[in-house]
Chains A and B, each alone.
Chain A
Amino acid sequence: MTILLLRIETLTGPLVRVKDTQLRVRSQVVQLRLPSASGGLIWNRPVAVLMRTPDGQDRILPILDVTRTAVLALVGLCLASTFLLRLLRRKTA
């Protein structure tokens, strides 16, 4: 029997000091392991940057993947157009 192990966790990197600004980088890891099949998949992507300004303010800068968002939007457009065309065809038939 294949046991599927999925683990999603957020990792935070070490503190980086640049002049007066302190930064911590954050990433999200998706681990998929197949113990009986001796293999797996690791997907690691940047999520955000935690920043502390010299005046002590904490800010979170999210990291957006523009390419992925655009491609997903186009896939959504494909699916939506398919759905609409089928709906129109049923109405006209």
Chain B
Amino acid sequence: MADISTPSPKPQVSKLLDPTLALNTVQTTLDKFLSAANVEAVYGPLIEQGENVVIPAAEVLSIVGFGLGLGGGSQNATEPENTGSGGGGGGGGRVLARPVAAIIMSPTGVRVEPIVDVTKIVLAVFTTLGFMVGMLTRMMSRRQRPKLND
């Protein structure tokens, strides 16, 4: 018969409560956040394609936030043994990148080719049209509305 035993939950709990792990996570997140402020974050490595060399360029937006909280107290002021304290923290972040242009070096010269996000522009056009039609409709309906005194 096979020995089926459930592992003790203690090692998992101690791993979760390990402050070094949390500090490492915070450090890694902060390092990633600060790396967005370099030139290397915006320009990619050289890509050689035949006689042409291409350098991709992108826009990078990095957002990060952290919060910490600590607290303590006692149920009864006369019993100092029944005191408790706790703390917690959390954080989050996001890195957004969008291609902007490609620098192309060919035997004829160097040129910058823009990378156009057609989807974004089309969505913006539709939003603008919707907004303008909405404004016009609202204006026309107000003009046609009869006055109460008439």
Total interface residues in chain B, CB < 8 Å? 51
Closest residue of chain A to B123, judged by CB?
A: A71
Interface residues in A12-43 by Cβ distance below 8 A to B read 12-13, 16, 18-19, 21, 23, 25-27, 29, 31, 37-43
Residues of B within 8 A of A71 (CB): 120-121, 124
| B21 located at the interface, meaning its Cβ lies under 8 Å from any Cβ of chain A in the complex | no
| A70 located at the interface, meaning its Cβ lies under 8 Å from any Cβ of chain B in the complex | yes
Residues of A within 8 A of B41 (CB): 44
Closest residue of chain A to B33, judged by CB?
A: A42
Interface residues in B53-99 by Cβ distance below 8 A to A read 53, 55, 57-68, 91, 98
Q: Which of B34, B43, B65 contacts A25 (CB 8 A)?
A: B43
| B16 located at the interface, meaning its Cβ lies under 8 Å from any Cβ of chain A in the complex | no
Task: Give, as a whole number of angstroms, the nearest-CB distance from A7 to chain B.
Answer: 9
A-B interface pairs (CB < 8 A), number: 143
Identify the interface centre among B33, B53, B65, B103: most chain A CB within 10 Å of its CB: B103
- Contact yes or no, A85 B101, CB < 8 A: no
A78 and B36 alpha carbons, distance in the complex (Å): 33
Known interface pairs A13-B43, A25-B57, A70-B124. Does A38 touch B37 (Cβ–Cβ under 8 Å)? no
| A55 located at the interface, meaning its Cβ lies under 8 Å from any Cβ of chain B in the complex | no
| B112 located at the interface, meaning its Cβ lies under 8 Å from any Cβ of chain A in the complex | yes
A46 and B116 alpha carbons, distance in the complex (Å): 15
- Contact yes or no, B135 A85, CB < 8 A: yes
| B3 located at the interface, meaning its Cβ lies under 8 Å from any Cβ of chain A in the complex | no
| B38 located at the interface, meaning its Cβ lies under 8 Å from any Cβ of chain A in the complex | yes
Mask of B25-53 contacts with A, CB within 8 angstroms, 1/0: 00000000110111111110010000001
A92 and B142 alpha carbons, distance in the complex (Å): 12
Q: Which of A44, A62, A74, A92 contacts B125 (CB 8 A)?
A: A74
Closest residue of chain B to A81, judged by CB?
A: B132
- Contact yes or no, B43 A39, CB < 8 A: no
- Contact yes or no, B110 A41, CB < 8 A: no
A49 and B85 alpha carbons, distance in the complex (Å): 56
Q: Which of B34, B55, B63 contacts A41 (CB 8 A)?
A: B63
Task: Give, as a whole number of angstroms, the nearest-CB distance from A34 to chain B.
Answer: 8
Given contacts A38-B68, A75-B124, 7 further A-B contacts (CB under 8 A): A31-B37, A44-B61, A45-B100, A61-B111, A61-B112, A66-B115, A70-B116
